[in-house]
Structures are given as structure tokens and as C-alpha cells.
């Protein structure tokens, strides 16, 4: 038994109609596992790695905030940003992590908005690095 997974961002469709038998989704309250015949839910996404178990193996995606809806045999994920594991540029992710860490190191004073911005950038870079190792 399986269900369909749709993953969308403001920039476009990442996955549409992926047949999966199990999905692990990061939420703001922790990871949840979704199996066929799961109860209907609407939950807020956290930032992390979403994993889908398919007939051809595991597929991994980064997700950054948004919503996850489970209705009957369809799981729809709306994320602010998302990438497939196979699309991660490892060198770019390492550079982004170093840049964000440098800005947060305290060498220069940051406003509250900048502090939040660079913490999020660091978090996304770390997720990309983790995702790159799951390819």
C-alpha cells in the first residue's frame, strides 16, 4: 500500500505524485512518520530532512518551514525552500556554512533581524551538508 507525495515551494514543484510507502517529516514539534491510512492532519513543518521510502529506495529532500497535509492517500508538503539530495552542491553548502558561521562569530555587531537571518542561513547550510551525505 502506498500514497502520493507532492512537494511544492514558492519557486515551483519539487516532486509531484511520488509513490511512497512511508515518509518521515520534520515538524516544529519533532519528526513524524507517515504510513498509508494515516489519520488526516495539517501540521507546521520544521527545518530538516524529509525522507520518502519508495519502491526504488529512499529519497531525501531538505525542507525549510511550511505546512504538511495528509488527506486520504495524498501527502502535500508546502515548504519555503526545498532541494533534492542529488541536487546539493557540496562546496557551495560548505561555503555558505562558513560564511554564516563567520557572521555569527561576533566579530561584527548584528541587529536582531540579521542575527535571525544568519542563524537560519547556518541551519539551512547544515541541513544541505547532512543531505549531501545521504545521497
CATH architecture observed for domain 89-132: Up-down Bundle (1.20)
Superfamily of domain 3-86: F0F1 ATP synthase delta/epsilon subunit, N-terminal (2.60.15.10)
Q: CATH 1.20.5 in the chain, residues?
A: 89-132
Give 90-93 contacts, CB < 8 A, sequence gap 24+: 90/129, 90/132, 93/125, 93/128, 93/129, 93/132
- The 10s digit of each residue's pLDDT in 17-53 is 999 999 999 999 999 999 988 899 999 999 999 999 9
Whole-number pLDDT of residue 107: 63
Question: Which contiguous run of DSSP H or E holds residue 31?
Answer: strand 30-34
pLDDT mean over 49-73: 93
- pLDDT(135) > 70: no
Whole-number pLDDT of residue 127: 85
Phi, psi of 18 (to 5 degrees): -70, 125
Q: CATH 2.60.15.10 in the chain, residues?
A: 3-86
Amino acid at each position: 500500500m502506498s500514497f502520493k507525495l507532492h512537494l511544492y515551494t514558492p519557486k515551483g514543484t519539487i516532486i509531484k505524485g511520488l509513490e511512497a510507502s512511508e515518509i518521515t517529516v520534520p515538524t516544529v514539534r519533532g519528526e513524524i512518520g507517515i504510513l498509508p491510512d494515516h489519520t488526516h492532519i495539517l501540521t507546521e513543518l520544521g527545518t530538516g530532512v524529509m525522507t520518502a521510502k519508495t519502491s526504488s529506495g529512499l529519497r531525501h529532500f531538505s525542507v525549510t518551514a511550511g505546512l504538511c497535509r495528509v488527506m486520504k492517500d495524498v501527502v502535500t508538503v508546502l515548504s519555503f525552500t526545498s532541494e533534492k539530495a542529488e541536487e546539493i552542491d557540496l562546496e557551495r553548502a560548505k561555503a555558505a556554512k562558513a560564511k554564516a558561521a563567520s557572521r555569527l562569530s561576533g566579530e561584527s555587531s548584528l541587529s536582531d533581524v540579521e542575527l535571525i537571518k544568519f542563524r537560519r542561513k547556518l541551519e539551512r547550510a547544515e541541513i544541505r551538508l547532512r543531505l549531501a551525505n545521504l545521497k
